[in-house]
Structure 1
Amino acid sequence: MDDEQWSRDRTARAEEARLVAARLHAEGAAGVLLTWVDNAGLTRVKGVPVRRLEHAAAWGVGMSPIFDVFLVDDSITESRFIGGPGGDLRLFPDLDRAVPLAAQPGWAWAPVDRYTQDGTPHPGCQRRFARRMVDRALALGLEFRCAFEVEWVAARADGPPEEIAYPTRGPAYGMGRVIDLSDCLRDLLRALDEQGIAVHQVHPEYAPGQYELSVAPEDPVAAADTCVLVRQTVRAVSARHGLRVSFAPAVEAGGVGNGGHLHLSLWRGGSNLCHGGTGPHGLTGEAEAFLAGVLAELPALVAVGAPGPGSPLRLVPSHWAGAYRCWGRENREAALRLVTGSSGEEGSAANVEVKCFDGAANPYLAVGAVIAAGLAGLEAGRTLPPEAHGDPATWPPEQAARLGVERLPQSLPEAIGHFERSELLREAMGEVLHEAFRAVRQGEAELYADATPEEVAAATRWRY
C-alpha cells in the first residue's frame, strides 16, 4: 500500500474510531483493552483511554515483536526472524468488534491486527493468518461457520496457589454443580448476552469443578475473536465471585483436561456442504475432500491445536479427547467427530468437531491451520478412509492397522516433528510465523523436558 492510500485509510479509521469512542464513552467505558493471542496461546493486552481510541485506530499502538517468541512461563526464545530487543509493531483495533465489558465496568475490548511501523501487515500476525486462509477459501466460493467450545475448571481464589480448592464437589454433569455456582453462571450468561454473544448452552463437565459453554457459529475470524472474549468474560465474572479459573489442557495430572473443540461446517452459495450429498452420512464430495485433508494433516495440526506442555496429558485414549487419527459419526473417541444433527435440522446443524484441540491453542492459528489443511484435501480430491466405530483403544492391533487408525502424537517433540515436516503448514503460515511458532513449541518442550506430569500440570494450570 502506498503512503497516499495509507493516509486516506488512516483518516477513515480515525473518523470511524471517533464514533465508536463516543458510543463506548456513553456506555460508561473509560478504557479499551486491545488484545492479541501469542504463539504460546496466551492473550496479551495493551489498554488505551477511550478518548485515545481515535489515535490508536489511526496510528496503532506500539508493541515489540518479541512477544511472538514468549513461552508460556514468560521466558523468551528466538527464531530465525524474531528475537532480541530491537524493532516495533503497531496494534490496530478491529472497531467492528469493540464492545463494553459487562464484567469489567469501565472497560471495553477490541481484538487487534498487527502491522509494521511502515504500515505493512506483520507476517507473524496470527489473526491475519486466519483471515488469509478465509480469503483463500472465499476465492473458491467457499465459506465456513465455526465455533469453539470453551471448557474451564473453577477454583476458590482464596486457596493456596499450589493447590486446587474446588468450589463444588457435585457429580459430573450434575445439577448440584449448577446450584453451587448458580449466581456465577447466571451472571456469566447475563454478561455474555450484554456483550452480544449468542450462547447455545452451558453445563457442568466431567472433571471436578469443570464447566463448558458453547456459542453460535460465526465466520472463522469472528469465532476466534469470540473465543477470546468468552474466556476473558468467564475469568472476569468468576473473579467477582471469589473464583479463579483454568483453561489449561491439564489442570491435574491423570485427570480429564480442558478441551477447546473446534466445530466447523463448509458452505457454498448458502448450502451446507456437510449435508445433502452422496458421500458418507450425507457429506458432499467437497466436504468429504475437505475433511479428508484435515484428517491427513492431523499429526501436524496437533502441534497447533494441542500445543501446550500439558496437552499430551489430556490427549489420552478413552477420555473423549480424540486421541486417534480417525473419524466417525457421533464418535467422541475419534479426532474428527461428524455431527449430523437431529432429523429435520441437518441442513443447518451438520458439522465436524475437531476433538483433539485444547485450551492451550491460539484460536486464530487453530482455525487457520484447519482451513489450510482442508483446502489442500479439496485440491487433491481426497476421500475419507473407512469410518471408525467405537473406541479404538479397545481394538486389536490388526483392526487399527487395517483401518489406518493410529494414535496422534503423544509428546511435544513428536508433534513438533510432524509440524516441522509439514510443507503445507509452512506455506500457509509463511516463514516468519511458522518459524516463530516452531521456536516457541521447541522452547516449551525443552523447558519441561525433565518435568513430571504433576510438575507440568502445576506449572501451567494458572497460565491459561
Structure 2
Amino acid sequence: MTTTRSRAERAAQARAAEAQLTADGIDGVVFGWVDNAGLTRVKSVPLAQLEHAAQYGVGALPCFDVSLVDDSFTTTPSSTGPMGDLRLVPDLDRLTPLAAQPGWAWAPADRYTQDGTPHPGCQRDFARRVTEAVERRGLSVRAGIEIEWVVADAAGDPATAGPGYGMTRFIEHSDYLREVLRALTGQGLDVLQLHPEYAAGQFEVSVAAEGPVEAADTTMLVRHTIRAVSIRHGLRVSYAPVFTEGEIGNGGHLHLSLWRQGRNLGNGGPGRHGLHPDAEHFFAGVLAELPALLALGAPSVASYLRLVPSRFAGAYRCWGLENREAALRLIAGSTAGQANAEFKCFDATANPYLAIGGVLAAGLAGLDAGLPLPPETRSDPATLDSVERLPASLPETADAYEKSALLRQALGAELYEAVLAVRRAESELFATHTDADLIEAVRWRY
C-alpha cells in the first residue's frame, strides 16, 4: 500500500500518476475516509497538489472521530474538540478516475498524526493491522460487501414499485442500471451480479472478493459511483437501513472466506459441510462476539428497524447452511473456491473498515482459543425458543460492546472509546423519535 512507502517513494508515485491523470483529463483528486458514524468524509486537491499531498497529506480535523450522523459531536477522554490536526494521506495504489464524475479521481486515505505516525483512531489502519495479524498465522482472507440501495425520484418516493426481483423494475431502469454497470467496470471493478431487490425501488450489486482492506475500499468506491450515476439520471439514493417503515431494508452483508496456502478452508475439510477446523474455530469466534460486533456492523439506531425476524436480516445468533434468517449463513458455492460465510446482520451504516476488522479480530480469537462451532440451526430460528435473538436496539448493542475486552484490545483504547461514545450519543439523540421520525431523520444521511 502507498502509505507503507517512504515520502520520496510516494512523491515519485504521485508524479507518475499525475502524468497519466493529466492525459485522462483529470483536474482534481478526492480523498475519502469513513467516520465512526458510518458517514464518508472527503477532502480534495487540484491535480497539481497531488505530489505534495502524497508526501505530507492534507489537513483533517480529529474531531470527526466523534462526529454523529447529524454532524454534531460528542466527546471522549482523548478527544480534543477544535484543537489539533491530522494528515490525510492518499493510498495511490487505489487511485481511480471516476467514470460518473468527469474530471475527478478518487483515492482512499489513511489518517496520520502531524509527526507522521498512524493516528490511533484511523479505522483503515485498524483493518490493516488485523489483516496483518491474520497473515502472520499463515492465513489469508477474501472478503466482499453486498451493496443494496433504494433509488427515489425528486420527491423522495421510491422510483419504482415493480415486483421484487421483477423484470418490470429492471426494464423501467435498464438505462440507469447499464450506466451503473459501465461505470463500475470502467473503474476496473469485477461486477458479479446486478439485480432488482425486494423492497420498492431497491437494487443490489455484488463485486468480486478481495483482501479485507481492499474490499472496504471497494465498498466506498461502489457507493460513490452508484450515487454519482443516480444523480446524473435525476434519481436520489439511500443506503439507510430502512427506507420505508415496515419494509425490508438495505443490508450490507459481509461475505468472507478463510484461506491457507491457496486452499479455501470452507470446503473439503472434515467438519460439517466440508469446513476445515480453522474455519470452524474462526466462525465460532465471530458468533461468540457477535452481539458486541453489531456496534461495528449494525451501528446506527435505525439499524434495529431492519434487524428484525422474518426479513432476511439475520436477527438470530446462529449459523446454518443457506439459512437466510441466521446471522451467519454458510454458502457452499458452486465450486470449492466460492465457499464462504455471509454475515447478514450488518448494514450500510457500518464503517466497512471497522466491520471487517472487527470480524477478523473475533475470528482470530476463536481460532487461537480453538472454540467449537455450536450446533447448526437447520430451520427458521424464529420458530425455535432455543436460538438467541441478537440485540434489538443500539443501547443493548452498546452494552455488549462496552463489555468486550476483545474489541477494546483489538481496536486500541482511543478508537474503541470513540466508537462507544458515538453509539451512546446517537442512542440519546434519537431516544424520543418514533420509528417514522427516525427513518426520516437518517434516510438521506446515508
Tell me whether 1:363 sits opposite 2:352 in the alignment: yes
What is the CA deviation profile of residues 408-444 of structure 1, one whole-angstrom value per residue up to 9, with x for unaligned ones? Answer: 0001110000000000000000001000111111110
Match of 2:40 in 1: 43
TM, length-normalised to structure 2:
0.98
2:396 counterpart residue number: 414
Corresponding position: 1:327 with 2:327: no
Q: Which of these residues, 126, 129, 132, is aligned with residue 129 of structure 1? A: 126
Match of 2:301 in 1: 309
CA distance in 2, matches of 1:249, 1:82: 29
**Paired residue for 1:221?**
213
Q: CA deviation at 1:139?
A: 0.6
Q: Is the 8 A contact 1:35 1:112 kept in 2?
A: yes
Q: Which residue of 2 aligns with 1:351?
A: 340
Amino acid at match of 2:183: A
Mean CA deviation greater in 282-291 or 302-311: 302-311
Amino acid at match of 2:293: L
Q: Is the 8 A contact 1:69 1:83 kept in 2?
A: no
1:368-424 Cα deviation digits (max 9, x unpaired): 0000000000000011111001211123x2xx1xxxx20000011100000000000
Bigger mean CA deviation after superposition, 10-19 or 217-226: 10-19
Pairing partner for 1:241 from 233, 252, 272: 233
Q: Equivalent residue for 2:371?
A: 382
- 8 Å contact 1:100–1:109 — kept in the other structure? yes
Q: Tell me the CA shift for residue 253 of structure 1.
A: 2.0
> How much has 1:82 moved relative to structure 2?
1.2
The answer to whether the aligner puts 1:208 opposite 2:190 as a matched pair is: no
Give the secondary structure class of the aligned counterpart of 1:266: strand
For 2:374 and 2:81, locate their aligned partners in 1 and report how far apart those are by CA, in whole Å.
46
Alignment of 1:73-112 (within 5 A): 73-112=70-109
SS of residue in 1 equivalent to 2:282: helix
For residue 274 of structure 1, what is the amino acid of its counterpart? G
- Unmatched runs of 5 consecutive residues or more in structure 1: 1-5
Name the stretch that deviates more: 386-395 or 312-321.
Answer: 386-395
User: Which sits farther off after the overlay, 78-87 or 365-374?
Assistant: 78-87
Out of 117, 120, 124, the position equivalent to 1:120 is 117
CA distance in 2, matches of 1:22, 1:445: 48
Aligned residue for 1:23? 20
Say what the alpha-carbon RMSD is for the aligned residues: 1.1
Report the Cα distance in structure 1 between the residues aligned to 2:400 and 2:355, rounded to whole angstroms. 16
Give yes or no for the alignment of 1:393 onto 2:382: yes
* Partner in structure 2 of residue 183 of structure 1: 175
Equivalent-residue separation in structure 2 for 1:325 and 1:222 (angstroms): 28
Cα distance in structure 2, aligned partners of 1:329 and 1:280? 10
Q: Which amino acid aligns with 1:394?
A: T
Any residues of structure 2 matched to 1:161-200 within 5 Å, and which? 164-200=156-192
1: CA distance between counterparts of 2:270 and 2:415?
Answer: 39
SS at match of 1:265: strand
> Which of 241, 244, 251 matches 1:252?
244
Instruction: Give the 3-state SS of the residue equivalent to 2:83 in structure 1.
Output: coil
Counterpart in 2 of 1:63? Answer: 60
Q: 1:430 aligns with which of 385, 392, 412?
A: 412
Aligned pair count?
Answer: 444
In the alignment, the residues of structure 2 paired with residue 254 and residue 170 of structure 1 have an alpha-carbon distance, to the nearest angstrom, of 18
Paired residue for 2:424?
A: 442
CA distance in 1, matches of 2:73, 2:158: 33
Distance 1:29 1:117 in 2: 29
Q: Residue 31 of structure 2 aligns to which amino acid in structure 1? A: L
- For 2:444 and 2:159, how far apart are their aligned partners in 1? 16
For 1:207 and 1:169, the matched residues in 2 are separated by 8
Aligned partners of 1:252 and 1:353: how far apart in 2?
25
Query: Residues of 2 paired with 1:252 and 1:329: CA distance?
Result: 30
1:373 aligns with 2:362: yes
1:277-329 per-position Cα deviation (integer Å, ceiling 9, x unaligned): 10110000000000000011000011110011200000000110000000000
Counterparts of 1:390 and 1:209 in 2: how far apart (Å)?
A: 30
Instruction: State the one-letter code of the partner of 1:443.
Output: A
Secondary structure of the 2:6 match is helix
Alpha-carbon distance in 2 for matches of 1:93, 1:321: 34
Task: Measure, in 2, the Cα distance between the counterparts of 1:175 and 1:328.
Answer: 30
Aligned counterparts of 2:176 and 2:294: Cα–Cα separation in 1: 33
> Amino acid of the residue matched to residue 133 of structure 2?
R
Compute the displacement of 1:83 (Å). 3.6
- String of CA shifts for 1:86-109, please: whole Å, max 9, x gaps: 010000000000010000000000
Is the Cα contact below 8 Å between 1:24 and 1:99 reproduced in 2? no
> Conserved in 2, the CA contact under 8 Å of 1:92 and 1:112?
yes
Show structure 1 runs of 4+ deviating over 2 A: none
Task: Tell whether the 8 Å contact from 1:198 to 1:216 is kept in structure 2 after alignment.
Answer: yes
Aligned-partner SS, 1:133: helix
Residue 289 of structure 2 is matched in structure 1 by 297
2-structure distance, mates of 1:381, 1:312: 31
Q: SS in structure 2 opposite 1:406?
A: coil
Q: Which amino acid aligns with 1:301?
A: L
